[in-house]
Structures are given as C-alpha cells and as structure tokens.
Amino acid sequence: MAASPAALIHPSRIVNRWGQLIAGIVAMMAVANLQYAWTLFTKPIQAHLQVSLQAVQWTIVLFVALETWLVPFEGFLVDRIGPRFMLGIGAILAGLGWIGSGRAETINSLYFWYGLGGIGAGAVYGGTIGNALKWFPDHRGLCVGLTAGAFGIGTATTIAPVAAMLKASGYQHTFIVWGIIQGFVVLVASLFLARPPVGWTPPNWKEKEARIKAKVKTSAVDMTPWQMLRQPSFYVIYLMMTMLAFGGLVVTVQLNPMASSYHVDNVVVAFGMTALVLAITVDRILNGLTRPFWGWVSDHIGRENAIFISFILEAITVFALLQLISRPVWFVALSGLCFFAWGNIYSLFPAITGDLYGNKWATTNYGIVYTAKGVATAFAGPGAAWMFAKTGSWTKVFWAMIVCDLIAAFMALLWLKPLAARVVEDSKSGLRVPSLPKAEGARSAA
C-alpha cells in the first residue's frame, strides 16, 4: 500500500509548531485588510463609479461568500496535501484581488476582482486555522484564537497608512500598492507551513488529554464531513454562527456609513485621528485580542459557557451603542467593545468543531461551519443598507443585532450544551456516528 503524502514528510523538514503558528499569524494579518479595511473604501468607490451604497456593499457580500463558501473545498485540499501549496495560491489571488480592484472602472469589474481576492483570503484563512487545529490539540482555543485574532487585529497595524495613502493618492492607487505588499507577505509566510506527520501528538499528550477532557467535551472519533452533517449538533452550531456573525459584520461593513449618519466620522478625537479612523483602529485591536482571550477562557470553562457570557455582553454593548453612538468618544469606545464581545466566534466555533468532530478532517469540517459567515454577510451588507435606506435610521438594524445575540447566547447554554454532551457520549459508545469505520474513527493515542 502506498504511503500517505504526510508520512513522507521527515520531521526534520517541518518547522517547529510554534514557528508555524507565528507564520500563520503573519499570513492572516496580511489578508485582514481585504475585509476589515473595506469600510474606508465604500464612499470613494461610490463616488468614482457613481453607484449606490447598496450596489457597492454587494462587493463585500461577494467577497465574503467566496471567502467562506469555498473554504470547505479548500479545507479538503489542505487536509489532503497540506497548507503550503494552498497558502501560496491564496497569496497570489489575494494580491491580484486588490490590484485588479484598483484598476476596475465598472462595478461588475470590481465584483470580479474583489471576489477573486475573497477566494484567496479563504484559502489563507482555512489553511492557517486548520493548521492550528491540527498542531495544537493541547491548546486548541488559545492557538486558534491567536490565528483568528491575527485576521481581526491585522488591519490595526496598517489602517493609518492605508487611510493616509487613500486620502493622498486615491483608493485605486491604494488598492494596487497594498495588494502587492499583502500578496508578497503571505507568499513568504506560506513557506513555513506543513501539516503534522501521520500519528503525531504533542509531547506528554496522554496526560494533557485527560486534563483537557475534564474541562472541555471532546469526541473520541474523527468524523468525516458527511458524518458531521448528519449530527443535529452541527445545525445548531451553524444557526448560532450565522446569527452571531450578523451583528459583528454589520459593524464591520457599515461603520463608515453609520459614522456619517450620526455625524461623528470627521470629528477629531485623539492623536490627530478622527472618530472613524480611531474607532477602526481600536476595533481591530480588540477584535484581535478577543479571539485568543475567549479561546483561552473557553479552554478552562467550556465553549458553550464562553459563548453565553460573551454574547450577553455583546447584546448589552450594542444597546448602549444605540443610545450613545452620536457622541464621538462613546462611538469609539462602544464600537470597540462590540468587537471584543463579538470577534471570539472565530476562535470558539472552530474550537468546538474540532472538539466534537475530531482532528483528521478539522479543516474541512470547520470550513463548512465557516460558510455561515457568508450567509450572515448578505444580511449585514446589502440587507442592513436596504433597511437603512427604507427607514432612514439604523435603529432597527441595531435591534436585530441585539435579538440575534440574545437568542444565540441562550441557545449555547440550553440547546448546544446538552447536544454536545450527547455527541461526546455517543462517540465513546459508537452510537450516532453513521458509517464510521473503526480504523478511521478511532483516535490514535500514539
């Protein structure tokens, strides 16, 4: 029988797993602008192409749809051939996405190029998250949080120069220059990644595994994507992910229009920065810090408990923002707190996916869960813009965010928690895992 490609990778050729974690973090930071700096470009694009805000926001919907809906396929390739090749392709596509967007003179051309960037960003996102899941079963919440956090915090390091270049040279020049920079950085980072050899486990794994299982529910089998899709818990996770992604994505893609509506976008508040630019900077920092923080918390108190606590906080924060958004300082502080309470979905949901459905197909399985972000973006982008245009106010959008946060928070505690416990118990007894061959399903303790 031919050896698996992973078995042919000699350990001496694989970068230390912590070194790989750093490389993944760098790659994620480099593609963060494609999503999180988008709000800066909406008004200049609208003016240059002479189209409506709703038409412009379909760009980010297409970007997120392609970024998310292709991740299961990209994740499958990562699981089969490793992350290095996929990240290399992602680097090229992500770079071309912004370069082409800078040369686009029609809205359809912009859709094409930004969508291409979405495919590249998805390959980078899926590859780095999957690699963290596989290399760190002993620190899953923390290390996935650090990797996902890089996608949240990456824009904080570049938002000021991007905004300055956009103001000085226009959005098209900015797209082209930063497209080249971002693509090159990801390409270099990809050279340091490799999947673990077959049968690899962390040092002292048996002792660590016992401690982890005492705090976090962990399945005893590796489920294929088809097996995961036949679990009721998957659909609860997917619905919760969609509802929770909606709220934060509204703030992500609509922050600039919101700031303009409440006349705080051009108010200088600190360090020579306007409320909008400072808010984006603070938001991205907290959006990055929240992911390892809540990932670490969930490693100690359980994923469902962490989701419940953080999204009760999110609902309270969104309500407070609705009351105080017209005050520049509160606009900065509360939008930042929104991101701190929200961004953890990108560490908690991959972690719980790995917990319940195993390591072997972790990249593909989380890729399927991650498509919920694409569903949510349709409501957060053009959906929220349509509601604003219809009502002339963001109030109903804010209330939709609050309701989604509260419902999903209680779903985590009252619905997902008992379902997750059942998945774990059934995996130990061999029940409710359809068509699972013992040779494939049993976790290796070696």
Domains located in the chain, CATH noted: 14-194+222-428 (1.20.1250.20)
Question: Tokens 């292709």 appear where?
Answer: 70
Q: What is the pLDDT of residue 139?
A: 85
Residues in a beta bridge with 221: 442
Q: What is the pLDDT of residues 5-40, one digit of tens each?
A: 444 445 545 778 999 999 999 999 999 999 888 888
Residue-by-residue pLDDT tens, the chain, 446 positions: 444 444 444 554 577 899 999 999 999 999 999 988 888 898 899 999 999 887 898 898 899 889 888 888 888 888 888 899 999 999 999 999 999 999 999 999 999 999 999 999 999 988 998 889 889 888 888 898 899 888 877 777 888 899 889 989 999 999 999 999 999 999 999 999 988 887 788 888 777 777 766 667 777 788 999 999 999 999 999 999 999 999 888 988 788 889 989 999 889 988 888 898 899 888 888 988 898 899 889 988 999 999 999 999 999 999 999 999 999 999 999 999 999 999 899 889 988 998 899 888 888 898 899 899 888 988 887 888 888 888 989 999 999 999 999 999 999 999 999 999 888 888 776 555 554 444 344 333 22
What secondary structure, in 3-state letters, does the chain show? CCCCHHHHCCHHHCCCHHHHHHHHHHHHHHHCHHHHCHHHHHHHHHHHHCCCHHHHHHHHHHHHHHHHHCHHHHHHHHHHHCHHHHHHHHHHHHHHHHHHHHHCCCHHHHHHHHHHHHHHHHHHHHHHHHHHHHHCCCCHHHHHHHHHHHHHHHHHHCHHHHHHHHHHHCHHHHHHHHHHHHHHHHHHHHCCCCCCCCCCCCCCHHHHHHHHHHHCCCCCECCCHHHHHCCHHHHHHHHHHHHHHHHHHHHHHHHHHHHHHCCCCCCEEECCEEHHHHHHHHHHHHHHHHHHHHHHHHHHHCHHHHHHHHHHHHHHHHHHHHHHCCCHHHHHHHHHHHHHHHCCHHHHHHHHHHHHHCCCCHHHHHHHHHHHHHHHHHHHHHHHHHHHHHHCCCHHHHHHHHHHHHHHHHHHHHHHHHHHHHHHHHHHHCCCCCCCCHHHHECCCC
pTM: 0.75
